[in-house]
Amino acid sequence: MHRSAPRLTRILACAAVPVMLVVAGCSSDSDGGSPDKGAAQSSAGTPKEAAPKQTPTLAPGKYAKLPEPCKAITAKTIDELVPKAKSKAGTASASTDTSARGGCSWNGLVDKGLKGSQYRWLDVAFLRYESVQALGTGEKRAEEAQAKEIAKLKATEGAKYVRDSVASGVGDQTTTVAYTLRKTGETFVYATTVARTGNVLVILNYNGAGYAGAETPHDQKMMDGAVKATKDAVAAVAAANK
């Protein structure tokens, strides 16, 4: 029995060696050789695929409706600018989409006998622009259309004494272009106002002539009349969208 004790001790000591090696091995793996940690490092080093950029959605235009064109100019303004109008109710322009475009016109002749006659014409057109992803916001499109319309008016063939002025306090931006034009043997004076309010363009034309020796209307008076009627039209746009 006494001789076997040292032998048992040696057996237990040898038996303990593999256990320590296993522990040491596990400890080594957990410190830096772990397959999981290596996989994590490899994954972290791989660049992620870039997410596709989202195109921002354009906000809708300020106004969704247009007013009734023939009711956009007040009766008082019509009486003042187009005396003896053939129809105070006006004549509506044809439109296949009244939510996008519409217009109305008035005309009248004041016959003064031997003193001649005064002819007046007034028409208004409304154009509403919607926001389109490829073209821009409704406001931007209306602004671009306004610039083109003003340029076209200034380049009117045969026009003389062309001048323009900015009308403050009428919509977001308003310009009036005036000129004289000879036709049917008479000198006509034109005043056209191009106003933008939000995403709506208001184009108002006021012109007139004196017949049979009557005085030719003054361009400033025609411009003032055009601006007055445009104020009515711009207010009508806002009222239609309340």
Q: In this predicted model, what pLDDT tens digit does every residue of 54-76 receive, in sequence order?
A: 667 888 899 999 999 999 999 99
Q: Domain range holding 161?
A: 69-240
Asked whether residue 220 falls in the same domain as residue 105, the answer is: yes
Burial class (CB in 10 A: 0-12, 13-18, 19+), 231: buried
Q: Dihedrals φ, ψ of 173, to 5°?
A: -160, 130
DSSP 69: G
The pLDDT assigned to 76 comes to 97
For the chain, what is the mean pLDDT? 85
Asked whether residue 236 falls in the same domain as residue 123, the answer is: yes
- Going from the C-alpha of 239 to that of each of 25, 67, 86, 100, the distances in angstroms are 84, 8, 27, 16
More confident residue, 112 or 48: 112
The pLDDT assigned to 12 comes to 38
Residue 51 within a domain: no
The pLDDT assigned to 234 comes to 98
Residue 52 within a domain: no
Nearest-CA neighbor of 217 among 207, 227, 229? 207
The pLDDT assigned to 57 comes to 85
Residue 59 within a domain: no
pTM of the model: 0.76
- Going from the C-alpha of 38 to that of each of 26, 33, 34, the distances in angstroms are 15, 7, 6
The pLDDT assigned to 95 comes to 93
Residue 166 has pLDDT above 90, yes or no: yes
Residue 164 has pLDDT above 60, yes or no: yes
Residue 208 has pLDDT above 50, yes or no: yes
Asked whether residue 152 falls in the same domain as residue 189, the answer is: yes
Residue 75 within a domain: yes
Residue 205 has pLDDT above 50, yes or no: yes
Do 200 and 225 contact (CB within 8 A), yes or no? no
Asked whether residue 215 falls in the same domain as residue 161, the answer is: yes
Asked whether residue 99 falls in the same domain as residue 8, the answer is: no
Residue 210 has pLDDT above 60, yes or no: yes
Asked whether residue 206 falls in the same domain as residue 126, the answer is: yes
Residue 109 within a domain: yes
Asked whether residue 41 falls in the same domain as residue 78, the answer is: no
Asked whether residue 83 falls in the same domain as residue 27, the answer is: no
Asked whether residue 37 falls in the same domain as residue 78, the answer is: no
Residue 57 within a domain: no
Residue 58 within a domain: no
In CATH, what number is assigned to the domain containing residue 232? 3.40.1000
The pLDDT assigned to 54 comes to 64
- Please name every residue paired with 74 in a beta bridge, in sequence order, or none if there are none: none
Asked whether residue 92 falls in the same domain as residue 33, the answer is: no
pLDDT band at 184 (very low <50, low <70, confident <90, very high): confident
Asked whether residue 112 falls in the same domain as residue 228, the answer is: yes
Asked whether residue 128 falls in the same domain as residue 212, the answer is: yes
Q: Count up the domains in the chain and report the number.
A: 2
Look up tokens 């195109």; give the residue: 55
Mean pLDDT for 178-185 is 94
Residue 50 within a domain: no
